[in-house]
Amino acid sequence: RGTATPHEALALRAAGDEGPLLCWLWTPGDPWAAGIEAGLDMGVSGQWALEEVTAAARATGRTARVQLKADTGLGRNGCQPADWPALVGAALAAQDAGEVRVTGLWSHFACADEPGHPSITAQLDLFHEMLAHAEKEGVEPEVRHIANSAAALTLPESHFDLVRAGIATYGISPSPEIGAPGDFGLRPVMTLSASVALVKQVPPGHGVSYGHTYRTPEETTLGLVPLGYADGIPRHASGRGPVRLGGGPWRRVAGRVAMDQFVVDLGGDLVEPGSRAVLFGPGDEGEPTAQDWAEAADTIAYEIVTRISGRVPRVFLNEDAAADGGGSDEGGAGA
């Protein structure tokens, strides 16, 4: 498993998670000592991080597990090729001193969701070179890895010892251009739904929500969905986001998404308050998907599924298989 921040990794450990756990996005002053005590594999992309982790190792009297990250072309986190020999050298010196053990060598792709993009082979070639240098110098990594979901699904030569699948674990395709989830044997696992809060009849020309950007074209019924941008519903999808109420046809958000709620024009249909409004789900019962919301909000499905805020209760299905049982709240909204 892997997380971006130490906070996430330590929360997983506190919830009973055991086993290898990589955590890669550290900033100065982060809780390296707690990471060492928790047995995390800690991503190191530069000298400052190696200095902080070795200081924490000396303070705790324990050996830190570190994974050196190479920037093979993404231009984000990771060590530049020019700085790699110095980082590898310093890490090996710290390993000789018993402060760290270099457990992994790794990198991340920029354009794996565009198969055939020239940066993919360029990054793979450079990764091989940076691995070869580190191994020649004496690093004996337990794991070498570079593949994200797109590479895991389309590029077998990038798999090395493990793949870091993110969006694929949600059952979502990394990009509609490379295929739908079903093309890869995936099925979206996350459903976002809410209990319809109110249904009412309104006259023609009635303004709806802040700014009155929508007016009812004729006498109609409006349904109120108790989810808004504070829950992670993109305000950018105002007037566009799809939703299915009470199993009926797709409707669109009418007017602006507000902080806690949005309104749907039901075209005169009556839906029982308390029935389900499904914003997105697997899509196999006719409901919209996260990809549909991504298109409505000019973004990617990654952003839709990861932005649902903490106040939306999580209801875990197949709880036996889940690491944490979570809640079983059937009311209000849920993901």
Q: Which residues bind ligand PLP (CB under 6 A)?
A: 24, 108, 148-150, 164-168, 174
Q: Which is nearer to ligand PLP, 24 or 293 (CB)?
A: 24
What are φ and ψ of residue 325, in 5° steps? -65, -35
Residue closer to ligand PLP by CB (options 167, 208) is 167
Q: ∠ CA 301-240-334 to the nearest 5 degrees?
A: 55
Angle at 22 between CA 137 and CA 149, to 5 degrees: 100
Select 22 or 263, whichever has its Cβ closest to ligand PLP: 22
Candidates 16, 13, 14, 15; CA nearest to 42 is 13
Q: How far is CA 304 from CA 149, 185, 190, 237, 244, in A?
A: 17, 21, 11, 11, 17
- Smallest distance from ligand PLP to CB 248, Å: 33
Structural contact between residues 49 and 26, judged by C-beta atoms closer than 8 angstroms: yes
In the bound state with ligand PLP, the residue whose beta carbon lies nearer, of 175 and 209, is 175
CB of 184 to ligand PLP, least distance (A): 12
CB 235 → ligand PLP: shortest distance, Å?
23
Task: Please state the closest distance from residue 108 (CB atom) to ligand PLP, in A.
Answer: 4
Dihedral sign (CA 267, 273, 275, 277): positive
> What is the rounded distance in angstroms from the CA atom of residue 321 to the CA atom of residue 65?
29
Q: Which is nearer to ligand PLP, 139 or 151 (CB)?
A: 151
**Which residue from 86, 169, 160, 162 is spatially nearest to 123, judged by alpha carbons?**
160
Nearer to ligand PLP, 102 or 199 (CB): 102
Query: Would you tell me how many other CB atoms lie within 10 Å of the CB of residue 86?
Result: 13
Complex with ligand PLP: residue 172 or 199, whichever CB lies closer: 172
Provide, rounded to whole angstroms, the least separation between the CB of residue 317 and ligand PLP: 21
Q: Which is nearer to ligand PLP, 65 or 164 (CB)?
A: 164
Give Cα 173 distance to the centre of its chain.
Answer: 12
Q: How far apart are CA 31 and CA 128, in angstroms?
A: 32
Strands 2-3 vs 22-23: parallel, antiparallel or unpaired: parallel
Q: How far is the CB of 290 from ligand PLP (least distance, A)?
A: 13
**Alpha-carbon gap, residue 152 to 163, rounded angstroms:** 6
Alpha carbon distance 164, 153 (integer Å): 11
Ranked by CB distance to ligand PLP, the top (closest) residue is: 166
Residue indicated by tokens 């929508």: 214
- Toward ligand PLP, which CB reaches closer, 178 or 258? 178
Residue 51 CA from chain centroid, whole number: 29
Query: Shortest distance, CB of residue 332 to ligand PLP, whole angstroms?
Result: 28
Task: Provide, rounded to whole angstroms, the least separation between the CB of residue 166 and ligand PLP.
Answer: 2
**Smallest distance from the beta carbon of 212 to ligand PLP, in angstroms?**
39
Q: Which residue type sits at 88? A: V
Q: What SS3 class is residue 254? A: strand
